[in-house]
Amino acid sequence: MAKILVSACLLGCKVRYNASDLKVTNSDFEKLIAKHDVVSFCPEVSAGMPTPRAPAEITGGDGFDVLSGRAKVIDAEGQTLDEDFITAAKNTLRKCQTEKVQFAILAESSPSCGSGQIYDGSFNNIKRTGKGVTAALLAQNGIGVFINIRLLMYCSY
């Protein structure tokens, strides 16, 4: 049985920027939860970010670029949140290391958790290819980040 970190919002916790969740209710996800030891975690909440809060997007790159200082996380009010999102990513990595988590299923499109797509920084609901800050840091440290639950279910670990 593998330990899997799952974004708390996917498990029904109302921790998203708008105080909502993204609860997943499909049989593949339920099988995954039943088969593995799940660690529920919200990077932004771990960094002390409030719920609700202004939406944020990455501008000038993706999560890897934020980690290296080449891009910024900006909220809809124009505030720079790089430090908050980097802290959130570090907290998540520390949780994964402490709990010996092998894989993570994160909320797609988030400036923290997006693992395949993120919003483009224009606040016009436009997505582009890229990773959020947390997804990037986990990937850099060998934690498998998945968006395809079926793929994870049939991985051999």
Structure tokens at 96: 């994964």
Query: How confident is the model at residue 157, as a pLDDT?
Result: 40
Composition of the chain by helix, strand, coil, percent to 5: 35, 20, 45
Which H or E run includes 128? strand 127-129
3-class SS of residue 93: helix
Single pTM value for the model: 0.92
Cβ distance 82 to 74 under 8 Å? no
Task: Judge if the upstream peptide bond of residue 52 is cis by omega within 30 degrees of 0.
Answer: yes
The model's pLDDT over 12-67, given as tens digits with 9 standing for 90+, comes to 999 999 999 999 888 888 888 888 899 999 999 999 999 999 999 999 999 999 99
Domain boundaries, the chain: 3-153
| Calpha distance 157→3 (Å, rounded) | 10
Confidence of residue 78 (pLDDT cuts 50, 70, 90): very high
Q: What is the pLDDT of residues 93-116, one digit of tens each?
A: 999 999 999 899 999 999 999 999
Residue with tokens 């708390």: 8
For residue 140, count other CB atoms closer than 10 A to its CB.
14
The alpha carbon dihedral of 144, 108, 50, 66 has a sign of: positive
Q: What is the predicted pLDDT for the residue at 30?
A: 85
- Beta carbons within 10 angstroms of residue 55's beta carbon: 15
